[in-house]
Structure 1
């Protein structure tokens, strides 16, 4: 009788481990996008800098382009922003929300940058299907350089003055 009880107990433990492990694996997302946690700005000799702080271990790719006006991803509505010229910066894969849909970026979606010489304002213009878009309103149309740094992940946007 003792042998049967040990076998039954062993089978029960195995069932609990298999079911418990399966529940844990199902609860974790298959992929997690780098998520925006902060937008920082700073003034440097010869350029202004905007930094997008991201979570995760996979760095995104980043592109930038001059646009006549900034538009919101998804809706296509115009995003009104202070500035004479506008640059759109897109990071992929990246998001401003977690897998549960909760916003990861606690700051404002649009803000002025009074302490910078060329960048007048920054706006979060898109967070849609793995694409994170940010718009910059500028005083002057100069050079724009984007790069990605890791450990921790961040997108760096440098704008000439």
Structure 2
């Protein structure tokens, strides 16, 4: 076998491996896109020492969550200020998550903004974004206190605890 033939076969084998790898890499991504958990409800409750806000989600991978203490809440997409009752504000984002199905229909039938008169620190909750696999929620609070944001599974939930 000549050196030129070996190089050609090596290049052909490398190309086949790259194509096979590319096909394998595309399949999980499209599957993951179909498995984005969708929000179906928002629940609130007062507990000893903290207020809890829970986002109920459909099946799929548990989203990564993060929060920021912000001066104002901004609507994803438009960049408009979301006016919400509160002295201080907490912006929470969950990825991947949505509040709509694949056809664009809302999966969360509740209000986009509501007061929480039954809680001690959290005064109001708003859905601030549902864009490109990121679900954003804003909280208006009375005072700056420690916040804990985490996920639970079986069923999927995002939990936001705000101390009194």
The TM tier, using the shorter chain, reads 0.7 to 0.9
State which of 154, 159, 162 in structure 2 corresponds to 1:159.
Answer: 162
Which blocks of at least 5 consecutive residues in structure 2 are unaligned? 1-29
Is the counterpart of residue 40 in structure 1 residue 43 in structure 2?
A: yes
Matches within 5 A, 1:21-100: 30=31, 31-100=34-103
Alignment deviations for residues 12-59 of structure 1 (CA, whole Å, 9 cap, x no partner) = xxxxxxxxxxxxxxxxx8423100000000000000000000001311
Q: Distance in 1 between matches of 2:48 and 2:110?
A: 26
Partner of 1:148: 151
C-alpha RMSD of the superposition: 0.9
Partner of 1:135: 138
Partner of 2:104: 101
Q: Distance in 2 between matches of 1:51 and 1:120?
A: 15
Alignment deviations for residues 103-141 of structure 1 (CA, whole Å, 9 cap, x no partner) = 000000000000000000000000000000000000000
TM (norm. structure 2) is: 0.80
Off by >4 Å, runs of 4+ in structure 1: none
Which blocks of at least 5 consecutive residues in structure 1 are unaligned? 1-28
Q: Give SS of 1:123's match.
A: strand
TM (norm. structure 1) is: 0.81
